[in-house]
Amino acid sequence: MSSRLFDLSDDVAVVIGGTGALGGGMAQALAEAGAKVAILGRNAERGEERVRAIEAAGGKGLFVSADAMSCESLAAARDAIQSKLGTISVLVNAAGGNKPDATLIPGADFCKLSRTAWNEVFDLNLVGGVLLPSQVFGEAMLAAEKGSIINIASMSGMIPLSRVVAYSAAKAAVINLTMFLAREWATRGIRVNAISPGFFPADQNRKLLFNEDGSYSVRGQQIIGHTPMARFGKAEELSGAVVWLASQRAASFVTGQNIVVDGGFSAVTI
């Protein structure tokens, strides 16, 4: 029975942002649990590379180019996936990130923060990151009366970290929207949850966390010192959470939740 709890062989999963390190790791985990996985994104080279990795491990993968800021592009991708893989039952919204212009360096004036940069961060993380994909793919799930939507938020959406003010606010909105959709769709067969990773080194934050010689930066040292497990996370350490939330058997009564995977960072107040 326990092995069946996490068997996704009847599922078709879409991972938006599956070309990145964290999204790609989650796509790989879903495929290893048996799901047929579609990677959505704009970087075909990285998308096809992830599909090859999935198939090399014995899974079924597909890359579909799409613009997450376009409902028409997302709808075309949805229809293509369903014609090739079947009815979509899992959506992972893993696209997101920050913008340098929306980051406040020490001593910077918040009153001078660029509104354009602020809007770009909200578009990236909230509008294209969750809102539009949930509308487009949620429509298909509602028609099938089955689905699990997993939004990738951030621990900084719970604790407003210094510097990344727009990113933290956008991820807080992701958590709020997750709870709203969970309530709205709870009786219609759709579960909606979020995963909030702590600090996981990836291309976009590596320079923030490490010096050129590979040692921790000042910021990296501060984070490690605040993390009870005294290290950064690894992409594969999100696998259990995403497979659990995707599984109708294992998480059938779980919706509206924000699962934090941060090595204990958010548990430390001093």
Which residues have a catalytic role annotated?
Answer: 167
Q: Which of 249, 196, 260, 247 is nearest to 29 (CA)?
A: 247
Q: Which of 100, 151, 40 is nearest to 48 (CA)?
A: 40
Q: CB under 8 Å to 37, separation ≥6 — which residues?
A: 12, 13, 14, 15, 18, 27, 30, 31, 54, 59, 60, 61, 62
Identify the sign of the CA torsion 248, 251, 252, 257: negative
What number of other Cβ atoms are within 10 A of residue 225's Cβ?
A: 10
Determine the Cα–Cα distance for residues 16 and 37; give it in Å rounded to an integer. 11
Residue whose pair of structure tokens reads 């999963």 in the numeric block? 13
Q: CB under 8 Å to 115, separation ≥6 — which residues?
A: none
Determine the Cα–Cα distance for residues 225 and 231; give it in Å rounded to an integer. 9
